[in-house]
Amino acid sequence: GQQVMQIPQYQHVQEGEDFTTYCNSSTTLSNIQWYKQRPGGHPVFLIQLVKSGEVKKQKRLTFQFGEAKKNSSLHITATQTTDVGTYFCAGPEGAQKLVFGQGTRLTINP
Amino acid sequence: DAGVTQSPTHLIKTRGQQVTLRCSPISGHKSVSWYQQVLGQGPQFIFQYYEKEERGRGNFPDRFSARQFPNYSSELNVNALLLGDSALYLCASSGGQGGWDTEAFFGQGTRLTVV
């Protein structure tokens, strides 16, 4: 079945530093979704990318979908303590399920 | 509007017991999916239901079963609990026609501990 890999697994930064997480799928994706899960919380949808090479921005967050639609990245500029959490990418496998990566856990030193 | 609601929020069960978890989707959403999230890992797909029919099943044993009711709420049942079933069980609803071209809205989850 489809596999979605994320790196790094953990990232610790100083507040104000940038952060990037990378996502790779074993198959071409129709779309890719990003979710954020705060400690003790549940995944919350951030964004969906559909087009090859698409780039979307949400304030300090920049999301990119690769040309081959098999990889994606999330970049956070000038991290803040509110950015703490685990960031997951997820891609559809067929119409039935989302396949999630194992996530990148971001911790921040204030 | 209320989001996805799950009950109970926490549960402790003994090995061999059975458990039923409940989920109410966002009003108007007809698709409900269940995920298992073990600590430190991403959510793993268990089931998807759309319009009361099972649309997909993940790699979970037959001890796991689910159903969707006419009001689109759903139950997940797990029989003969094992220690390894301890996890956060997440329910997600979406407004699409069962596909994943729209975002998933997750409930707060049920934290199941098997002792």
- The number of residues in chain B equals 115
- Per-residue pLDDT at B77: 98
CB-based contact B100 A92, cutoff 8 Å: yes
Report the residue of chain A nearest B97, measured CA to CA. Answer: A95
**A19-68: pLDDT as tens digits:** 999 999 999 999 999 999 999 999 999 999 999 999 999 999 999 999 99
What is the pLDDT of chain A when averaged over all its residues?
96
Closest CA to B58 of B79, B40, B37: B37
Q: Taking 70 as the threshold, does the pLDDT of residue A100 lie above it?
A: yes
- Per-residue pLDDT at B1: 58
d(CA B68, CA B32): 8
Report the residue of chain A nearest B45, measured CA to CA. Answer: A97
What is the mean pLDDT of the segment spanning B63-69? 97
Cα dihedral value B38, B43, B46, B47, nearest 10: 150
Q: List residues in chain B touching A: CB distance below 8 A.
A: 33, 35, 41-45, 48, 55-58, 88, 90, 98-109
Residue A49 CA to chain centroid, in angstroms?
A: 11
- Per-residue pLDDT at A94: 82
